Amino acid sequence: MDCPHCGTTATTERPGLTAQGYHRYRCSACKRGFNERTGTIFNRLQYPTDVVCLVVLWRLRYKLSLRDLAEMFLDRGLEFCHDAVHQWECKLADVLELVL
């Protein structure tokens, strides 16, 4: 995997995974650590990428309310507030509209 900071291919995989289950890497050139989502629009999200994309996709496609989506995923064991759904929509709507 290329380093998102300096672009070199001199990276090594570090043991262990992030809290969301993503692989961790370290760059030999710039000595910085990163994971699979570093440098993407999904960086620093506290939830898995597939969950966030599904929430935003359902919001765009089915016009569900912010609170309804939060309640639907609470039934599935994922707890987040309607404000998080709004922030995800603002951040990802342009990218996911290309899929629709």
pTM of the full predicted structure? 0.80
Read off the pLDDT of residues 39-76 as tens digits, 9 standing for 90 and up.
999 998 999 999 999 999 999 999 999 999 999 999 99
The structure tokens listed for 100 are 């629709």
Query: What confidence tier does 97 reach under pLDDT thresholds 50, 70, 90?
Result: confident
Amino acid at 54: L
Read off the pLDDT of residues 4-41 as tens digits, 9 standing for 90 and up.
999 999 999 999 999 889 999 999 999 999 999 999 99
The domain segmentation of the chain, as residue ranges, is: 1-39, 49-97
3-state secondary structure string across the chain: CCCCCCCCCCEEEEEEECCCCCEEEEECCCCCEEECCCCCCCCCCCCCHHHHHHHHHHHHHHCCCHHHHHHHHHCCCCCCCHHHHHHHHHHHHHHHHCCC
